[in-house]
Every structure is written in C-alpha cells, then in structure tokens.
A and B are shown apart, each in its own frame.
Chain A
Amino acid sequence: MNKNKTMPAAAHTENSTDTALLDVKDLKTYFLTDAGIVKAVDGVSFTLHEGETLGLVGESGSGKSVTNLSIMRLIPSPPGKIVGGEIVFEGQDILKLPEKELRKIRGNKVSMIFQDPMTSLNPFLKISTQMVETIMLHNKDVSKKEALERSIEMLKLVGIPSAEKRIFSYPHQFSGGMRQRVMIAMALSCNAKVLIADEPTTALDVTIQAQILELIKDLSVKLKTAVIIITHDLGVVAGMCDKVCVMYAGRIVEKADTDDLYASPSHPYTEGLIMSVPRMDVAHKNDRLFSIEGQPPNVIDLPPCCPFHPRCHKDMEVCRHAYPPTVGVGSGHEVSCWLYVDEAQRNLALEKALADEQHAAADAVQTNARKEAAK
C-alpha cells in the first residue's frame, strides 16, 4: 500500500458537533494472569463522531484489539477485566448497561469485523444461516426470504463470485480471504452506526483489499457510519481516515487529524512509523528503510516511565522515571512525550519522580527489615 502514502485523506466531515457518537474516556482493561497484571489498555481516550473514520495504529500487542473488544464488552473474563473508564455511546455508558440493553447495541448499532477470519465464523453452520440470523435478529419485520436475498446481495457486494450458490456453503469451504469477506458482509448487513474493523484486510490480496476499503469508505459516506479501522498499514490510514490514534504499550501516544499527523508527526514513535513506510516520491539513502529498532515492552508490571524510552533516539533522564503528560501541539493534535513539555516542568517532574522512587525504595527496605525481624 506504499503508493497510497501521498494520497489525500478522505474528505473531512464537517460535523464536529459537540456530542460525540462514541466517547471513550480513560479506558483501562487489564488481564490478571499468572505472570502478573497485563495492562493491555491503560487509560485510552478518544471520541468518534457520526460519519467519521478513525484509524488506530500501533505495533502488535499495543492493545488495539483489546480497546475495541472492550467497546463491545467482549473481553474474556476471567482473565480480563475492564477496571476503569467510561464508554459513552449515544449518551449511555456501555460499561454500565444490563445485558439486555447491551444486546440491542451489539451487532445492531455497533458491529465488528474480527481480526481472525479463519476462526471467527461458526464451522458448524452454513454461511446462509449465520448471515440470515444476523439480519433477522435486529430487524424483526424482515422475512427469512428477504434476509437471504439481502445476504446474497451483501456477499456480491464484497466480491464473492456466484454468491447465490456459495451462500449455502460451510465456512471451511471458503478460503481465508473469502471468509474475511463474509465477515465483512455480515458486519455491514446491519447498517450499524459504528463499524469496528480489526485489520479487516490482512488476509486479502492487494486488489481486493482496495475494493473492500473502498466499500467501507462508501458506506461511511452514504450511511454516515462511523468507522474505527485498526491497522498496521499507514497507507490505509492515509487513504481512509479522518483522524488517527497511535497506540503504544496500551496507551495512545499521539492523536491527530490524518493530514496533521503526516505533516508534523510529533511523537518519536510516530515519526519512526511514518519513516518506515516506503515512499515512491523520496529516494532512500542506501535504499534501506528506516525501522524502529528494539521490541515493544512487556506490558506486565511496567514501571512509571515512557514505555518507548529504550527505543527512543531523543530520550532524556525524565523519560526513564515518569510517564509523559498529554499535551496539545495543534488543534486536535495531542501527544504524550516529554519533548513537548517545557524544561522547567520537566525538571520538576524528574525531581518529584526521583524523590518518589527514593521513598518507595526506603519503604521497601523497611518492610523487608520488618519481615526479617518477624522471622
């Protein structure tokens, strides 16, 4: 998708109305595992307006899927738990809804395309059954025949050849790419207000990929569906999204309008991401791409620090001792990085962090001593 890099972002929708359709506030989703507490999502906030397309990018394990599963309240529990925050959809906090109300939202107002197409369809039921039930569930006045016709139509739309016949197949008779398209058709069949697409095109080849994305884009314009697209592919973001959130180690490190993000990436991680996308219009020194060295951190028991500091070329003393605050660097453009905090405040923060660490160390020594004494 390299060529897309220089494409203009999708036309901005002007509906920056004050009330967002979806407002995620300080969401925290943890997994309690034997190894410790996995803070998969740790204080994520973003808003989504009608018709808007939001891109969620970040490395594997940064918490993109968990964020969206939390919105659907589909976190497997145990071991997962949403420990804090609010997810306000149409004025209601999804996290506080009873099961029955939740069901009216799932698949009806918010629908989701899952990341793994191979396992996300029921292998024991025909595609037709699975699609028809989806449509009929939320449209009580639709007959079975109508639902079937609608399903076939949707399958044609996502490019399944001879859909009238193939709809009666079982999932295992479809390839991975075809299954992904079935998933997409199923998610699109309900005209939801929010469509969450978790890497919707990973299993597809490039031409189909472009078609599907085009389809999602059309839909968001025509039906004013708001879309959250999760992807590793910055080309997809550039081609489709109005806004982007960059995630790193369970937090959003940078949030901006797509144009802004490409024009002035602020977080060193975002810079790295953008530089690692091959560009046709820029000659590469030694023909090699920039890549971000190192591994993403383990999100178990992260100490207070900027989780990116071991890989950051601009890291400072303070980065190793305190998590950076979120600061605005332009309209609607926010970043969590110490570089954008003025020096006086940085020093203050460092002093405080060091003092805290000393206190903690002293406390630890004391408790240990007490334990020893108790023995």
Chain B
Amino acid sequence: MTKYIIRRLLGIIPTLFIIVTLSFFIVRIAPGGPFDGERALPEVVKRNIEAKYHLDEPVIQQYGRYLFDVLRGDLGPSYKYKDHDVNYFIAASLPNSIVLGLISMMLALVFGISAGVIAAVKQNTWVDYTAMALAIVGISIPLFVISPIMQYVFAMKLKWFPTSGWFTSGGGWRSVVLPAIALSFSYFADVARLTRSSMLETLRSDYIRTAKAKGMRNSTIIFKHTMKGAMLPIVSYLGPAFAGILTGSVVVEQVFRVPGLGKFFVQSSFNRDYTLIIGVVIVYSVILVIMNFIVDIVYAQLDPRITYK
C-alpha cells in the first residue's frame, strides 16, 4: 500500500513536467505577446520591459529559467499586474474556488446520489421520470443562463440571499448559497444519471438475486448489497468532475462576484500574461492529478478485487 502510494506520487512528477513544458511553449506559439497593447509602445520602452522579464533571451533559456523557478515553488511575476506575482494571486483566489467547488460537489453528490437511487428503485414510475427530467434540465441549461436567473429570482426579487459577494469579504454564509447551487446543477444531473444506470445494472446482477433469495428486505438489499458496487462509477467520475467544477466556475464567479481563480484564468489568456496562464494551468493540473490519485485510492478501498501492486 505505502509502496503503491509512493510509486503513484513519483509518477506525478513526469506528468507535471510535461504539462509545464507544453503550456510554456503553447502560450508562446499563440500570436501576440504580453506587451502588445492597442497603442504600440515605443521601441526602447518595450525592449526595456522585455529585458526586465528576460523575454529578450532565447526561448530555451527562458524555459530553463522558468523550470528552475517552478521547482523552487515560484511561479514568477505577473506581466500584467505589476504589483504582485503569480503566487500571490493563486494564494488569494484558489481557496475561494476550492471552497465553492467542494460545497457544490457535496450538493451534487448528496442530491444526485439520492435522486439516482430513488429513480432506480422506482424505475419507470413518475418518480423516476421526474428525477430524470430534472437531470436533463440540469445538463442542458448552461451556467450563464441559470446563474443570472437564480440571482434575479432569489436575490433581487425574493431577497433571500445577497446578489453577490463572498463570505471572506463580509457576505456571510448566505453569499455562498446561490453560486454553490448554480454550479452544482449540471454535476447533480450527471451524478443522478450515473447513479441510476449503475444501480439498475447492479440490481440486475446475480448476487442481488442471491440476496433476494435469502429473504432480505428491499432496503437492506439496496443499502448493503447494491450501493457499494453501484458507487464505483461515481467515484471514477469524481476526479475529473472536481477539476471540471474548478475550471467551470468562471461564469459563476463572474456573475456572483466570487473572488476565485476562474477570473484570472480568463483574464490572463486575454492579456497574454504568460506566467499567470501557466501558473493557473499548473494549479489546475496539480488538482486534477491529486484528485485522480485520491479517487484511485478510494476506488481500491471500495473494491476488494483491486490490489495495490
């Protein structure tokens, strides 16, 4: 087990190296640079700035310098926001995105799994149809539609929640509710559908027939014999889904003014703010890799047939 964990952790290093390398070069292939504004800067000024950030050096040298910095945990200066470096922005915004993501994920899991299980147990009844119709709605309505609608109805009209803000900036816990629910919708839908089909498949299996033949109650069969196996696809889904919920929160963060990482992800791309782009990409990658790692461990815990080798 320990061996397995160590091996997996070591495996993360080359993955991250490839991601850093690829993103480093890809952002430079895209046309335009960080200092190509609307109004062309005087040649001298531009050269001075480029020299300050070592942009005048050969790309390979820049790459070596950057790798070295990243190894020390320094993601470099931002080319756009001159007062702060990339580490500062990430440290300030990432926790907010993670809190929002975690709460949304919890909501999606709790309601999605419940809806999926109930739909499967009551297959082909109105309960099933309602739950699945809701899921379709959740999947097909885009965030930029649902977020403003929720904001309008629950914040502006009903005044149950603040229209925007965040608990770190004095918004209280209420400010978290709307963005978290909005963000959780499509994940709720995915989880519900996945749970339903997985439950249905497991309920048809021979070992569930055995459990029935023993004379067990339906509820015991569902909770003790069916759920564990049926949750495996959900666990595998969680890794990529959590990474997705972080990157996907851009719209929600904008609408509800959540000071999260999403804003920087979008703005840095528009600004050709190379270091900030790569920094955000690295952070997302690390989260994805860690999530997949956790998922594998949890999966192996749930499924006794999987052994760590």
* A272 → chain B closest CB, angstroms: 32
Q: Are A114 and B225 in contact (CB under 8 A)?
A: no
**Interface residue stretch chosen among A99-107, A232-240, A261-269, A356-364:** A99-107
> What mask results when residues 218 to 255 of chain B are scored 1 for a CB within 8 Å of chain A, else 0?
10000011001100000000000000000000000000
A103 partner, pick from B217, B302, B305, beta carbons under 8 A: B217
The reply to whether the CB of B204 lies closer than 8 angstroms to some CB of chain A is yes
The reply to whether the CB of A150 lies closer than 8 angstroms to some CB of chain B is no
Complex Cα distance A133/B224, Å?
Answer: 11
Complex Cα distance A119/B204, Å?
Answer: 12
The reply to whether the CB of B211 lies closer than 8 angstroms to some CB of chain A is yes
Interface residues of B in 204-219 (CB under 8 A from A): 204-207, 209-218
Complex Cα distance A138/B305, Å?
Answer: 30
A123 partner, pick from B207, B209, B211, B216, beta carbons under 8 A: B207
The reply to whether the CB of B303 lies closer than 8 angstroms to some CB of chain A is yes
A167 / chain B contacts, CB cutoff of 8 Å: none
> What mask results when residues 87 to 111 of chain A are scored 1 for a CB within 8 Å of chain B, else 0?
0000000000001001111111001
Closest B residue to A170 by beta carbon equals B304
Q: Are A119 and B207 in contact (CB under 8 A)?
A: yes
Q: Are B215 and A103 in contact (CB under 8 A)?
A: yes
Knowing A123-B304, A124-B302, the reply to whether A107 touches B215 (Cβ < 8 A) is yes
The reply to whether the CB of A147 lies closer than 8 angstroms to some CB of chain B is no
Number of residues from B at the complex interface, CB < 8 A = 22
Closest A residue to B124 by beta carbon equals A78
How would you classify the secondary structure of chain B's contact residues: helix, strand, loop or mixed? helix
Q: Are A76 and B212 in contact (CB under 8 A)?
A: no
A123 / chain B contacts, CB cutoff of 8 Å: 207, 229, 303-305
Q: Are B207 and A138 in contact (CB under 8 A)?
A: no
Q: Are B213 and A111 in contact (CB under 8 A)?
A: yes
The reply to whether the CB of A44 lies closer than 8 angstroms to some CB of chain B is no
Q: Are A124 and B206 in contact (CB under 8 A)?
A: no
Knowing A120-B207, A123-B305, A124-B228, the reply to whether A74 touches B214 (Cβ < 8 A) is no
Number of residues from A at the complex interface, CB < 8 A = 30
The reply to whether the CB of A134 lies closer than 8 angstroms to some CB of chain B is yes
A122 / chain B contacts, CB cutoff of 8 Å: 207, 210-211, 225, 229
Knowing A103-B217, A133-B214, the reply to whether A121 touches B207 (Cβ < 8 A) is yes
Q: Are A172 and B305 in contact (CB under 8 A)?
A: yes
Q: Are B210 and A124 in contact (CB under 8 A)?
A: no
Interface residues of A in 312-366 (CB under 8 A from B): none
The reply to whether the CB of A72 lies closer than 8 angstroms to some CB of chain B is yes
Interface residues of A in 109-154 (CB under 8 A from B): 111-112, 114, 116, 119-125, 133-134, 137-138
Complex Cα distance A103/B217, Å?
Answer: 7
Q: Are B305 and A170 in contact (CB under 8 A)?
A: yes
Complex Cα distance A120/B213, Å?
Answer: 11
CB-CB nearest 4 A-B residue pairs: A106-B215, A107-B214, A107-B215, A119-B206
Write 9 A-B pairs (CB below 8 A) sorted by A numbering.
A72-B212, A74-B209, A103-B217, A107-B213, A107-B215, A108-B215, A124-B225, A137-B214, A170-B305
Interface residues of B, Cβ cutoff 8 Å to A: 204-207, 209-218, 224-225, 228-229, 302-305
Interface residues of A, Cβ cutoff 8 Å to B: 72, 74, 76, 99, 102-108, 111-112, 114, 116, 119-125, 133-134, 137-138, 170, 172, 183, 186
